[in-house]
Amino acid sequence: MDINNDEISWPRNERNAIQLYLSFLLKVVEGSSIKYLNEQNDPISISKRYLNGDDVEFERELAVQNWWDFIDSNGFIRDFHTPEAVLARLALCFLTPGEGDVGDLSENISFAFGLMASLGADLETLKIIKSEYFKNYI
């Protein structure tokens, strides 16, 4: 059973909503071959530390700026196919929701799935993982 992203009932507390979102993205990415080699801007490392209760806000904001600079300086503004451009955008899916600026987490999941699919992930497998993960939040 595939659930619609709009059916997800996110926690009202922003920190709890971000934790749920990041935990899900980490679950999906850690089961794949997606890796980030730059430790300083590594969205997976920053997300894990956030989930562990570390204060990563300054580092998160700096990494967001660095990923956008990477996209801009490499001419990837309209590029959604080059693996480096896709990885940069996926990094932003991890890093852009912040407390005080959560945005639309359901929309972020849809965007992240599209990026992962362009990196070779199977969408049906992603949907199964999502349905299982969020079954208690619909």
Interval 74-111: pLDDT, tens: 999 999 999 999 999 999 999 998 877 777 899 999 99
pLDDT at 38: 75
The answer to whether residue 133 sits within a structural domain is yes
pTM for the structure as a whole = 0.92
pLDDT at 1: 63
The answer to whether residue 18 sits within a structural domain is yes
Cβ burial, residue 23 (10 Å; 0-12/13-18/19+): middle
pLDDT at 68: 97
Show the beta-strand stretches assigned E in the chain: none
> Which segments of the chain have a pLDDT < 70?
1
| CA 77 – CA 75 distance, rounded (Å) | 6
The answer to whether residue 98 sits within a structural domain is yes
| CA 103 – CA 66 distance, rounded (Å) | 20
pLDDT at 61: 94
Contact (Cβ atoms closer than 8 angstroms) between residue 85 and residue 119: no
The answer to whether residue 111 sits within a structural domain is yes
The answer to whether residue 107 sits within a structural domain is yes
Contact (Cβ atoms closer than 8 angstroms) between residue 43 and residue 112: no
Cβ burial, residue 72 (10 Å; 0-12/13-18/19+): exposed
- Domain hosting residue 61, numbered range: 9-137
The answer to whether residue 2 sits within a structural domain is no
User: Domain total for the chain?
Assistant: 1
The answer to whether residue 91 sits within a structural domain is yes
| CA 131 – CA 37 distance, rounded (Å) | 30
